[in-house]
């Protein structure tokens, strides 16, 4: 006997019926999801000439006086990715040399969540790139990452007991001995010409500080300043696919929007150039594996649980953070490139597995998104890349398994939105899908869903849901 769900005609009929039911339910729904911004949305002014620009603390550097690269607000919102060998520099802020730093704030607490992919909680994006298209060779200007919780409810970092900076030690920092300061003077010193901050009211001398990193830069095929994955160079061939350097900003490239396979094109098979940034740039890359995880946008992800006290190096034991400080951690000048100078694009809260509408939680609305895309393949009108969790260009039982895992993790952890003990949704199939839609159990709010028929159609085939 032929299963009716296997026939193309019935599959299309169910898709059309389901889409019609969704449209009716969305039109009738009065539930409105709260606006949610997964990206850092505020620059905390740590400049030495406040209230004048630049609102951050750059060290001397060749780009810090260039208005294209010293606007700290460019690090807010979603990143602008260019790929692994041609980064887009339109949305970056330069930190200058050693100790230059930027402090950003989210409008919510970023949670240490077991429901997140690989347990990773946040991502920092930059303009780093691979050399010669090799994921083992990096042009990297690493920056350390520090985080601080908001404990007093006043949205002012450091104003309450327990609000201090905790370090993400990564692969190379093992204790506090690498922390040091650097003094910079307007006249003299070793900085290149015109590198000293030229901002109104900036002092003639100042200090910066950082937990110093000391990556080994090499010249490879005539290219200076190349950093090679340490595991690729050691004597063990079995670890070549593992990163030996991780936990720092500006190491992993930022992909073009919708480039789900990391091939530097967002218009090929499986790609979706019209995918919402809130969905694409909140999926982390595995920082311990060479290359970029399929479906990820790249960037440098970390786990809040990695954070340590900067003095004792004991675990910070944080449940969340609100503020993130990114600091250029290398003190080196490479001819003819200039000083090592971190450039930062954005910071993002990682989207939990099963959050298919990009609102930061996993709920019945996400199940509705999954149902609408169920049994679809890339190239079909109802394919949704967010529902293709395993990134194989179709929405099937494997994706349902991942969705179910995310659902259970989210509610067993008591994440925002409550729902402790909330039963998992059923496996989608034609009858239950249509009954669920007809029964009106999907609630919708202000959200934009983008469906893929082809990479071009991602830009024009949209279902816009208004309040």
260: region left, alpha or beta (phi > 0 left; psi from -120 to 50 alpha): alpha
Question: The whole model's pTM is what?
Answer: 0.86
Any idea how long the chain is? 467
DSSP 180-235: EEEEEESSSSSPPTT-S---TT--SEEEEEEE-----EEEETTEEEEEE-HHHHSS
pLDDT at 335: 82
Q: Dihedral sign for Cα 357, 359, 362, 363, please.
A: negative
User: Do 62 and 341 form a contact (C-beta atoms < 8 A)?
Assistant: yes
> Which phi and psi angles does 452 have, rounded to 5°?
-110, 120
Say how far apart CA 442 and CA 363 lie, in whole Å. Answer: 10
Say how far apart CA 60 and CA 97 lie, in whole Å. Answer: 6
> Which phi and psi angles does 158 have, rounded to 5°?
85, 5
CA angle, residues 168, 155, 65, in degrees to nearest 5: 65
Radius of gyration over every alpha carbon of the chain, rounded to an integer in angstroms: 23
Say how far apart CA 93 and CA 46 lie, in whole Å. Answer: 15
Q: Helix or strand or coil: residue 200?
A: coil
**Per-position pLDDT tens, the chain of length 467:** 333 333 444 444 444 444 444 443 333 332 334 589 999 999 999 999 988 899 999 999 999 999 999 999 999 999 999 999 999 999 999 999 999 999 999 999 999 999 999 999 999 999 999 999 899 999 999 999 999 999 988 889 999 988 999 999 999 999 999 999 999 999 877 666 679 999 999 999 999 999 999 999 999 999 999 999 999 999 999 999 999 999 999 999 999 999 999 999 999 999 999 999 999 999 999 999 999 999 999 999 999 999 999 999 999 999 999 999 999 999 999 987 899 999 999 999 999 999 999 999 999 999 999 999 999 999 999 999 999 999 999 999 999 999 999 999 998 866 544 444 566 777 675 445 444 444 433 333 333 333 343 444 443 333 333 33
């Amino acid at each position: 006997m032929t299963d009716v769900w296997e026939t193309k005609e019935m599959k299309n009929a169910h898709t059309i019926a389901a889409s019609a039911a969704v449209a009716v339910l969305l039109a009738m729904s009065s539930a409105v999801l709260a606006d949610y911004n997964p990206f850092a949305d505020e620059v905390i002014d740590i400049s030495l000439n406040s209230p004048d620009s630049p609102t951050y603390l750059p060290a001397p550097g060749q780009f810090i006086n260039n208005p294209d690269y010293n606007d700290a607000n460019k690090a807010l919102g979603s990143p602008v990715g260019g790929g692994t060998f041609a980064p887009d520099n339109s949305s970056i802020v330069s930190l200058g040399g050693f100790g230059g730093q930027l402090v950003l704030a989210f409008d919510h607490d970023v949670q240490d969540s077991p429901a997140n992919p690989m347990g990773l909680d946040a991502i920092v994006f930059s303009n780093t790139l691979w050399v010669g298209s090799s994921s083992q060779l990096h042009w990297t200007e690493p920056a350390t990452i520090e985080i601080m919780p908001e404990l007093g409810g006043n949205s002012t970092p450091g104003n309450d007991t327990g609000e201090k900076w905790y370090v993400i030690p990564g692969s190379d920092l093992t204790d506090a001995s690498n922390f040091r300061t650097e003094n910079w003077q307007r006249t003299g010193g070793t900085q290149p010409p015109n590198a000293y901050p030229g901002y109104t009211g900036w002092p003639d001398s100042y200090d910066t500080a950082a937990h110093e990193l000391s990556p080994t830069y090499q010249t490879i095929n005539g290219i200076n300043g190349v950093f090679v994955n340490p595991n690729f160079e050691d004597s063990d061939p079995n670890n070549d696919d593992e990163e030996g350097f991780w936990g720092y900003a500006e190491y992993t490239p930022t992909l073009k929007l919708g480039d789900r396979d990391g091939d530097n094109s967002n218009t090929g098979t499986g790609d979706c150039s019209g995918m919402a940034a809130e969905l694409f740039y909140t999926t982390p890359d595995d920082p311990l594996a060479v290359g970029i995880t399929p479906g990820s946008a790249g960037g440098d992800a970390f786990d809040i649980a990695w954070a340590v006290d900067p003095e004792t190096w004991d675990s910070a034991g944080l449940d969340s953070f609100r503020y993130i400080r990114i600091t250029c951690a290398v003190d080196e000048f490479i001819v003819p490139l200039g000083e090592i100078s971190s450039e930062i694009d954005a910071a993002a809260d990682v989207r939990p597995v099963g959050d298919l509408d990009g609102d930061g939680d996993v709920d019945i609305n996400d199940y509705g998104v999954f149902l609408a895309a169920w049994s679809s393949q890339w190239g079909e009108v109802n394919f949704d890349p967010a529902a293709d969790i395993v990134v194989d260009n179709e929405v099937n039982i494997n994706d349902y398994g991942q969705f179910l895992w995310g659902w259970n993790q989210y509610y067993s952890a008591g994440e925002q939105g409550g729902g402790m003990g909330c039963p998992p949704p059923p496996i989608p199939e034609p009858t239950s899908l249509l009954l669920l839609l007809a029964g009106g159990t999907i609630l919708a709010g202000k959200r934009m869903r983008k469906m893929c028929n082809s990479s071009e159609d991602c830009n024009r085939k949209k279902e816009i849901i208004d309040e």
